Amino acid sequence: MAKTHVTMKVNGAEVEGLVEPRTLLVHFIRESLGMTGTHIGCETTHCGACTVDIDGMSVKSCTMFAVQAQGSDITTVEGMANADGSLSALQEGFRMMHGLQCGFCTPGMIMRAHRLLKENPSPSEEEIRMGISGNICRCTGYQNIVRAIQYAAAKLNGIEFKEAAE
Amino acid sequence: MNDLTPTREQRTAALEGLGCKRKRVEDIRFTQGKGNYVDDVKLPGMLHGDFVRSPHAHARVKSINSEEALKVPGVLAVITAETLKTVNLAWMPTLAGDVQMVLADGKVLFQNQEVAFVVATDRYAADDGVNKVVVEYEPLQPLVDPFKSMAPDAPVLREDLAGKTTGAHGPRKHHNHIFEWTVGDKDLTDAAFRKAEVTIKEMISYHRTHPSPLETCQCVCSFDKIKGELTIWGTFQAPHVIRTVVSLIAKLPEQKIHVISPDIGGGFGNKVGAYPGYICAAVASIVTGKPVKWVEDRIENLTATSFARDYHMTTEIAATKDGKVTGLRVHVLADHGAFDACADPSKWPAGFFNIVTGSYDFPTAHLAVDGVYTNKAPGGVAYRCSFRVTEAAYCIERAMDILAQKLGMDPAELRLKNFIKPEQFPYHSALGWEYDSGDYHTAMRKMMETTGYAALRKEQAEKRAAFKRGETREVMGLGVSFFTEIVGAGPSKNCDILGIAMFDSCEIRMHPTGAGIARMGTKSQGQGHETTWAQIIATEIGIPADNIQVEEGNTDTAPYGLGTYGSRSTPVAGAAIAMAARKIKAKAQMIAAYKLEVHEDDLEWDIDGFRVKGLPEKFMSMKDICWAAYNSVPPGMEPGLEAVSYYDPPNMTYPFGAYLCVMDIDVDTGVYKVRRFYALDDCGTRINPMIIEGQVHGGLTEAFAIAMGQEIRYDDTGNVVTGSFMDFFMPTAVETPHWETDFTVTPSPHHPIGAKGVGESPNVGGVPAFSNAVNDAFAFLGATHIQMPHDYWRNWKAAKTLGAVA
């Protein structure tokens, strides 16, 4: 099958590649660019493990062709740590609040939470739950993911994180 | 002592040992996308395999034509059963003593069964090839309903078993019968029923579902023709067992097989068994001389690699009229699908279902299980539970509620009346188990007090009255569940897999600087072993957990173990870790005695080192002992500080818990709301409370999914109608309730650190709590037992059947 040349920005770096028109963006990211943090859990747009940030929106990269991302600005989980290599507020929140177990949904969850907090810097629990409802986690039961995002929101807003009483 | 000398509390805290909410080591890489899962493995020249699958549930395969597929650019080979027969691998043995087709051999027996394996240069080309393979089928009558499987005119599914009247577990009664397994005293139980003042009888079904971890099953097989070595990266919960199985069936020397389980994206029982994809990828690598990757997609995962449950349990309880149970009789019809590929210890065709007497003191009981074949996917894995334990817990917990309803007793009161008493432990159950420890009354009362159970019952009575007066259309249910699990398989006297005793192992090597590496036969799939195993070692030998590297999953380096499933890691490997650490400590004591110039018996352990009794200033830290182990050991002693332990547990462990679900259901829509869910777990000694709480949240969420909608459903012709996340209920953060967790601590008397295991308890106890809540909500309208799953539509239908909806 004839291949098409694509260029895009991924985690701040210009990248290019030859792809078939049918190549999914997630396969381009994982296999051509070798960034395997973005995962595949369902291929039907339900689980959100493949979520990346494209031009300021959360996108499930299993449901977009690589050619559709031509010229776009993409952030994946590999681009989430602070410039000095330390964990970002969200990554730290997931660790501190035990918001992950097997880690397979985590990159997609973090990417979705990243955009959620840009859209709504101080979300309520209900808004967080609705905001991550396109991402499935099989391990945590979500409760600690909600706390992880609350932790990050507090840190980014410069306020002390207080856990809601049981 | 100056100001800089750490206090005892500070020294203990620095270890981050047992009982500490240590943050997870794994999270540093997982939060940065730096985990290494199987699909992340990329080898030079790697090929991809994909399956041609059957659209039919039951059909004869007339022909397979690969001609057009082989013309597709990138397609290198199409493997069929005929290819596999040349290496004697068209069929493979199952863990349950049956055999299973690797690729369709003459017939297909379930929808999406593997028919041919297409190997190509990339996954897209493989898929193109799959679409070009032409298979001619002659459809046969499908058998979907297990209750019709043993009818005289039922179609013959397994032609390979023609004339075989005996299977791996005894006589077969019918061509679709697999085994009958009976336990208990039938005569005594029948007599108890004859004398009973009150009896109940109900057919309680636990529907077919699927573990569905977010990462599907996958592998990369790489055969090195020069060395004759096969390396397999795979999503294996039990890598050593896979190595042995591959060695036995592929006739390769075991030392030439390297099995590596890298990071695993959840298992929940799905990744215990051996699947056709593994065999085909291995054969394809041997044939092509190149590495071959096989990655299952979600539809394949839900429809082909294993399932869970599908137990239909006719349950009877005999009791006195004041509510003392006197007998239990259960018959199970077990739907195993097309092949018996249950992942149970070899001698247990129905797993540990004989834990079905639960937490109650039944003087007698009898159990019979009939396993049957149907045109459905094979499997029968323990989806987040010990082998068939969740089925057993659901059976007895539902039945106890039905008995309470018949007696007009409160379900909690009935349970309290029949609990095994603390002084009865170790308790010998009527169906053959020896429960190690428990304090059920304390746990139940704590649940009732914390939740305000009495007040909730009062509120329910008021709401029921209001409903009857027509003032509300909402019904309220209280789901009580008190479960006893049996985990930690297991003692070699009763547990093996293919003849290998179900021990587990740990090897610890301490380095000169006071750091070390520990390797185990288990394999974490999210349980956080790298974090918690180091905590056990930290407390045992006084080295900070941060200084202990934990490594699992590589059969070349880890000691042989039976893997992680059935909540066996903590009960078995956790014990091996403590025992290996104690061997390290014993040698360290000899070294310390030599260096401090005293007799060993004059030393006492003090948090992180040895101290001379009565001379507190004479102290040698474990860190210093590690150094000494490499330069100045006592004369005659070998240098170094290492130990290995293979632990064969003397008994299983029996975690337990008391759960309460408070639910409101709108009868006109069937929409339910989980108002409150309280879970008290007793898993003995608690290694890391943060991780325990996380495990409980996750297990409850899976229980919620199963009870309230998650089902693998087939239509009458054997089509799977819930084969993707569109139809297979997978709760999101919106549907998932808020969880309240609590605990009591009753250590296991036989485990070195008293721990029992927890990962599966919430699934085992959670399902009956949800189902009992729904049934309790409708009980006052005349319901006795409503089958799971309790989705909105079924709730509405129940309300309608009961006349609550016009």
Which pLDDT tens digit goes with each residue over B361-408? 999 999 999 999 999 999 999 999 889 999 999 999 999 999 999 999
Neighbours of B681 (CB within 10 A): 28
The helix/strand count (H/E) of chain B reads as: 19, 34
Q: Residues A69, A132: one domain?
A: no
Rounded to whole angstroms, how far apart are CA atoms B545 and B553? 20
Assigned domain for A164 exists: no
What does the domain layout of chain B look like in residue ranges? 8-35+504-647, 38-140+216-264+271-303, 308-489+652-801
Question: How far, in whole angstroms, is CA B208 from its chain's centroid?
Answer: 15
| ipTM tops the 0.90 cut | yes
pLDDT at B2: 58
Mutate to test the interface with B, among A19, A90, A139 (most CBs of B within 10 A): A139
Contact with chain A for residue B124, Cβ under 8 A: yes
Q: Which of A54, A79, A104 is the last residue of a domain?
A: A79
For the domain that residue A150 is a member of, what is the CATH number? 1.10.150.120
Mean pLDDT of chain A: 96
Q: Residues A115, A75: one domain?
A: no
Number of domains in chain A: 2
**Among B27, B37, B73, beta carbon nearest to A100:** B27
Q: Residues A101, A146: one domain?
A: yes
Find out whether B654 and B437 touch, Cβ atoms under 8 Å. Answer: yes
Sign of CA dihedral B553, B558, B562, B563: negative
pLDDT at A164: 61
Q: B8-35+504-647 and B38-140+216-264+271-303 share one CATH topology?
A: no
Rounded to whole angstroms, how far apart are CA atoms B258 and B120? 24
pLDDT at B77: 97
The proportion of chain A whose per-residue pLDDT surpasses 90, expressed as a percent, equals: 95
CB-defined contacts A:B, below 8 A: 176
Interface of B with A in 466-495 (CB under 8 A): none
Domain B38-140+216-264+271-303 has CATH 3.90.1170.50: yes
3-state secondary structure of B676: strand
Chain B residues in contact with A144 by the CB 8 A cut-off are 694, 697
Burial of B782 (0-12, 13-18, 19+ CB in 10 A): exposed
pLDDT at B498: 85
pLDDT at B129: 98
Contact with chain B for residue A133, Cβ under 8 A: yes
pLDDT at A166: 44
Helix B411-418 / helix B440-451 crossing angle, nearest 10 deg: 160
A101: nearest CA in chain B? B526
Strand order in the sheet with B609-612: B603-605, B609-612, B615-621
Q: Which residue type, as a one-letter code, is found at position B433?
A: W
Rounded to whole angstroms, how far apart are CA atoms B638 and B620? 20
Report which secondary-structure segment, H or E, holds B166: strand B166-167
Closest CA to B739 of B668, B660, B796, B631: B660
Report residue A43's pLDDT band, with 50, 70 and 90 as the boundaries.
confident
Q: Which CATH number applies to B308-489+652-801?
A: 3.30.365.10
Number of residues that this document lists for chain B: 806
Contact with chain A for residue B24, Cβ under 8 A: yes
In the predicted model, residues of chain B with pLDDT beneath 70 are: 1-3
Mutate to test the interface with A, among B23, B32, B702, B760 (most CBs of A within 10 A): B32
Residue A163 pLDDT > 80: no
Interface of A with B in 98-117 (CB under 8 A): 98, 100-107, 110
Q: Residues A75, A13: one domain?
A: yes
Rounded to whole angstroms, how far apart are CA atoms B626 and B629? 5
User: Structural domain of residue A141, as residue ranges?
Assistant: 89-156
Q: Residues A56, A95: one domain?
A: no
B34-60 pLDDT, tens digit per residue, is: 999 999 999 999 999 999 999 999 999
pLDDT at B490: 87
Torsion angle of alpha carbons B686, B689, B694, B700, nearest 10°? 50
Q: In angstroms, what separates the C-alpha of A95 from chain B's closest C-alpha? A: 6
Mutate to test the interface with B, among A11, A90, A104 (most CBs of B within 10 A): A104
Q: Residues A50, A98: one domain?
A: no
A89-146 pLDDT, tens digit per residue, is: 999 999 999 999 999 999 999 999 999 999 999 999 999 999 999 999 999 999 999 9
B759: nearest CA in chain A? A139
pLDDT at B43: 98
Rounded to 5°, angle at Cα B570 from B483 and B506: 160
Closest CA to B236 of B488, B38, B528: B38
Assigned domain for A166 exists: no
Rounded to whole angstroms, how far apart are CA atoms A166 and B690? 15
Question: Could you tell me if residue B185 is left (phi over 0), alpha (psi between -120 and 50 degrees) or otherwise beta?
Answer: beta
Q: Residues A10, A54: one domain?
A: yes
Q: Which CATH number applies to B8-35+504-647?
A: 3.30.365.10
For the domain that residue A13 is a member of, what is the CATH number? 3.10.20.30
Find out whether B562 and B496 touch, Cβ atoms under 8 Å. Answer: no
Contact with chain B for residue A18, Cβ under 8 A: no
Q: Are A105 and B698 within 8 A, CB to CB?
A: no
Q: Residues A127, A148: one domain?
A: yes
Q: Are A103 and B734 within 8 A, CB to CB?
A: no
Q: Residues A19, A72: one domain?
A: yes
Contact with chain A for residue B733, Cβ under 8 A: yes
Q: Which of A57, A79, A101 is the last residue of a domain?
A: A79
Q: Which of A60, A79, A98 is the last residue of a domain?
A: A79
User: Where do the DSSP E strands lie in B491-554?
Assistant: 496-497, 500-501, 504-510, 516-520, 548-552
Rounded to 5°, angle at Cα B311 from B305 and B313: 175
Catalytic residue numbers of B read: 237, 384-385, 760
Find out whether B507 and B644 touch, Cβ atoms under 8 Å. Answer: yes
Q: Residues A64, A106: one domain?
A: no
Peptide bond into B789 cis (omega under 30): yes
